[in-house]
Amino acid sequence: MARPSTKEVRRREILRAALDLIAVDDRTEVTVVSVARHMGLTPNAIRYYFRDNDALGQALDAQVMSRFLGERLAAIAELDDPRHQLVRVMELGIPTGPDDIEWRSTFRPLLAGVVTADSGQYLSDVFEDQVAVYRDVLVDGERSGVFALRQPAADIARLLLAMEDYLGLRITLMDPRLDRAEALRLMRDYAALATGTELPSDGRGSTPEEPRG
């Protein structure tokens, strides 16, 4: 595999610095100037890679969504069983812990307390894009006879994503009564009821045995 170019490496370093700023304070405005100051560079050094604040913000959003969309789609493609696919999609959506900065970055307008029409549209678009991943797995699972959906696939998908978002926020806000393992258990339990089938505890694990009559 070819090594990334020097320019691409530098772009990644700048985006990492932007995430570091969010890690310090979710209310931080990520701009060319703030990132340059954090890295000890001049603003023009950042503008060589990102021409303005909008370009920097769009690149940061694209990197984050590559994780929450790209990685999920890639994981689905590697698995044949819809049960594994569904659990794996959940696993890739729940934050790894309170310090999961990419996850927090998705909700930075909300966490920063800056809610506008643009941020509302952004959050809506992110939500619907990820709902579509769940929905497609559910539809394919029902079509193959693995799932017996108790509700429309779109409704189950929206509820799973709503659980993912709410439980994920509680994890990143360091709720002492909830951790990643418990969040995933709650989601799996609901998904098992909604799909009418037992689900594996690990998206990459073995398929649960069929009950014997």
pLDDT, tens digit, 9 for 90 and up, residues 107-119? 776 666 666 777 6
| Distance of alpha carbon 135 from alpha carbon 42, whole angstroms | 45
Picking from 86, 100, 108, 105, the residue whose alpha carbon sits closest to that of residue 159 is: 86
**Domain residues of the chain, as ranges?**
61-195
pLDDT score recorded for residue 204:
81
pLDDT score recorded for residue 125:
82
Compute the half-sphere exposure of residue 11: CA atoms within 13 Å on the CB side of its CA: 17
> Could you report the per-residue pLDDT of 178-187, keeping only the tens digit for each?
999 999 999 9
Q: Which parts of the chain sit beneath pLDDT 70?
A: 1-4, 26-27, 109-115, 119, 205-213
Would you say domain 61-195 falls under CATH 1.10.357?
yes
pLDDT score recorded for residue 112:
60
pLDDT score recorded for residue 179:
96
Check: CB of residue 83 under 8 Å from CB of residue 197: yes
pLDDT score recorded for residue 140:
97
Picking from 99, 80, 116, the residue whose alpha carbon sits closest to that of residue 200 is: 80
pLDDT score recorded for residue 208:
46
